Structure 1
């Protein structure tokens, strides 16, 4: 069943250099992780609650694959740069498959 790793940026970037380093490192990641970017900082229309400053949604074949990507040593080396750049929330959501 598909799973989605979602990251919301709660405020504008405070450290652009750190964010650029994070992006540079994640774009160079190697590995066998199967992911499909679905949303990468597109325009957001808020319907309820506080609108996040930005959002990324990555699709994976399973929750386990999403967790494996997040826990990958290369990602874990990049992560402190994202966390330094602004305030974020990150979570994994199990997808839905309608009954056949």
Structure 2
């Protein structure tokens, strides 16, 4: 089953509020099985426009697990803190399974 990824691009308006969000969201990420793959304040933009001051990439066992975390009660308690502190785009994408090299 392909992995699922949550990508957040955040335009932070209230750094202290985002710190509170991070403290509140961390336990829900652990419960949901998330791995933090990247947190970057300034990604290297190659083309087009990018939203926000920070980009976060989370990995889950599947897109379904990513959605379950996002819709969970635990994350639901943290989400309003982020929404109050930053303008955010959030997407879930499904990873691709690559054939093994020996196949």
TM-score scaled to structure 1, two decimals?
0.85
Instruction: Report the secondary structure of 2:28's partner residue.
Output: coil
Specify the alignment match of 1:3 in structure 2: 4
Deviates more, 1:60-69 or 1:48-57: 48-57
Q: 1:96 aligned to 2:99? A: no
Consecutive unaligned residues of structure 2, counting only runs of 5 or more, are none
CA contact (8 A) 1:15 1:86 kept: yes
Deviates more, 1:86-95 or 1:33-42: 33-42
Measure the CA separation in 2 of the matches of 1:5 and 1:34. 12
Measure the CA separation in 1 of the matches of 2:25 and 2:31. 14
Runs of 4+ in 1 over 4 A off after TM superposition: none
TM-score scaled to structure 2, two decimals?
0.83
